[in-house]
């Protein structure tokens, strides 16, 4: 089994339970921040989506950087010695009676799923380029073009173009370097000047926020967990809050009541049309929560003091940190090297187990002591030991593979005292061979 298989299976195992944990934390935080407005809720759901992808990866990554970060504030005096035992990161799952081939098959299947989602993402991006090329640009004198220029000026936008397309269901925004607002060709004659103004103001609000580019980034980030059931729920919350933000920006010119009436009339117009899927495009009717959007427009803004806003923001931050800390503290590490085929008639007498797995099995023992003689000589280095762990968890055999002779005895004396939980293979304790690295380092005199 390869390291890649261990990493992939660890990522999937962590994502399976960490995504629901993060979603629950995001839902609670969004409820707390509701009085702060849709912008605060949107930031929360954007952070949750990013964490749902990155936190499982961080859970299986090397933690040597974390040790450096957390020890950095504590000054190490010159001449002090630091002894680090390196046995690999993570926690181990118990042995499972699964064929070795199943791990390779699962890893390959996950890779194919990710490739499929990536190919679909790129195909949809190519489809949007095709829609944009085929759209018919509107002349500057057209009513829609004049209204678009007016909305763009009000929101401080430059270089916005408008075009009509027969391939879209509702008004959308495409592009970020040369943004274009597309209006369905059949819809233009049906829109009153007020409704047209509402549509274009909403799409210009998307351009102000650069939502098209953000949406592409979120879509790309979500590819590794695209098959998770809760990802769609997270994206729905993200889309809903994004549309609410743009509703508020768009209604600033005409007033919320007038804007809400325009949305209702637009919805009536769209009922007679056949929906068309334009994924990755950003439009006024993206969210499937039209009723809640109208209700939020009808609500009166809540005046809130700075102290209360700070308290709510702090509460949301603490909740998020608690969720991330819990996820990292309870992370799962799957090491496929510790799994043996189920069709074995009897367990092997001695099993080679990766250091990362045995690190989670250790329950007691002394830590190595930096010899004073080695400190005086400014001697540093790494002692690599090969160990045999008995069925009862004690260290039965230990020998040095490499390392400075002056540091070897200190390592041996400490490791001999270690005790492990018995390593079970298909329910039976077995002897284990593993490797232990003891790193001796001295503080720099210049610190």
pLDDT digit string (tens) for 235-262? 989 988 998 898 888 888 778 888 888 8
Q: 298-302, long-range: CB within 8 Å, 24+ apart, which pairs?
A: 298/256, 298/257, 298/260, 301/37, 302/35
Closest CA to 415 of 430, 401, 425, 429: 401
pLDDT of residue 143: 87
Do residues 382 and 403 lie in contact, with contact meaning Cβ atoms separated by under 8 Å?
yes
Whether 90 shows a pLDDT value over 70: the answer reads: no
- pTM, rounded to two decimals: 0.66
Domains, the chain, ranges and CATH? Answer: 344-447 (3.30.2420.10)
Q: How confident is the model at residue 85 (pLDDT cuts 50, 70, 90)?
A: low
Nearest alpha carbon to residue 208 among 273, 253, 164: 253
Kindly indicate the confidence band of residue 95, based on its pLDDT and cuts at 50, 70 and 90. Answer: very low
**Kindly report the CA angle at 405 between 400 and 407, in degrees rounded to 5?**
85
- Whole-number pLDDT of residue 379: 87
Q: What is the pLDDT of residues 331-389, one digit of tens each?
A: 776 655 544 444 444 444 677 777 767 777 788 888 888 888 888 888 888 888 888 88
Tell me if 47 sits within 8 A of 221, measured CB to CB.
no
**Alpha-carbon distance 46 to 320, whole Å?**
12
Residue 382 CA to residue 376 CA, distance in Å, equals: 17
Do residues 35 and 312 touch, judged by C-beta distance below 8 A?
A: yes
Average pLDDT over residues 77-87: 50
Q: Which of 322, 334, 333, 336 is nearest to 59 (CA)?
A: 333
Give residue for tokens 């549509």. 199
Strand pairing partners for 435? Answer: 386
User: Which residues, other chains included, contact 431 with Cβ-Cβ below 8 Å and sequence gap of 6+?
Assistant: 349, 350, 351, 388, 389, 390, 391, 396
| Integer CA distances (angstroms), 447 to 72, 200, 298, 378, 380, in order | 11, 60, 61, 15, 17
Collapsing DSSP to helix, strand or coil, 325 comes out as helix
pLDDT at 342: 40
The pLDDT tens digits of the residues spanning 399-444 come to: 888 888 888 888 888 888 888 888 877 667 888 888 888 888 876 6
């Amino acid at each position: 089994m390869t390291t890649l298989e261990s990493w992939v299976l660890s990522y999937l195992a962590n994502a399976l339970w960490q995504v629901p944990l993060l979603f629950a934390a995001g839902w609670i935080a969004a409820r707390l921040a509701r009085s702060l407005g849709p912008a605060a809720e949107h930031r929360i759901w954007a952070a949750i989506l990013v964490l749902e992808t990155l936190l499982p990866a961080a859970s299986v990554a090397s933690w040597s950087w974390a040790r450096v970060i957390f020890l950095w504030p504590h000054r190490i005096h010159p001449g002090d010695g630091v002894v680090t035992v390196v046995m690999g990161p993570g926690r181990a799952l118990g042995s499972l009676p699964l064929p070795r081939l199943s791990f390779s098959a699962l890893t390959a299947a996950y890779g194919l799923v990710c490739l499929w989602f990536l190919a679909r993402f790129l195909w949809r991006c190519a489809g949007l380029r095709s829609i944009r090329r085929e759209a018919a640009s509107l002349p500057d004198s057209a009513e829609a073009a004049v209204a678009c220029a007016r909305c763009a000026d009000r929101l401080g936008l430059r270089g916005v173009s408008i075009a009509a397309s027969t391939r879209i269901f509702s008004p959308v925004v495409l592009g970020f370097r040369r943004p274009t607002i597309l209006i369905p060709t059949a819809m233009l004659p049906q829109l009153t000047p007020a409704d047209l103004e509402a549509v274009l103001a909403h799409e210009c609000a998307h351009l102000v926020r650069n939502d098209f580019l953000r949406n592409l980034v979120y879509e790309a980030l979500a590819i590794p967990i695209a098959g998770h059931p809760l990802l769609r729920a997270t994206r729905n919350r993200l889309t809903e809050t994004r549309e609410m933000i743009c509703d508020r920006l768009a209604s600033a010119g005409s007033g919320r009541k007038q804007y809400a009436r325009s949305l209702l009339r637009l919805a009536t117009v769209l009922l007679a049309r056949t929906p068309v899927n334009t994924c990755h495009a950003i439009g006024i009717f993206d969210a499937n929560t039209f009723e809640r959007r109208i209700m939020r427009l009808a609500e009166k803004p809540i005046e809130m003091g700075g102290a209360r806003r700070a308290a709510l923001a702090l509460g949301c931050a603490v909740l998020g940190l608690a969720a991330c800390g819990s996820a990292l503290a309870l992370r799962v590490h799957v090491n496929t090297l510790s799994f043996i085929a189920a069709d074995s008639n009897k367990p092997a007498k001695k099993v080679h187990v990766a250091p990362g797995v045995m690190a989670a099995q250790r329950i007691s023992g002394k830590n190595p002591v930096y010899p004073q003689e080695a400190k005086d000589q400014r001697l540093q280095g790494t002692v690599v030991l090969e160990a045999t762990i008995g069925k009862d968890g004690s260290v039965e055999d230990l020998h040095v593979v490499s390392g400075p002779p002056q540091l070897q005895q200190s390592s041996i004396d400490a490791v001999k005292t270690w005790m492990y939980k018995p390593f079970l293979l298909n329910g039976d304790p077995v002897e284990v061979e593993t490797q232990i690295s003891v790193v001796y380092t001295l503080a720099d005199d210049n610190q």
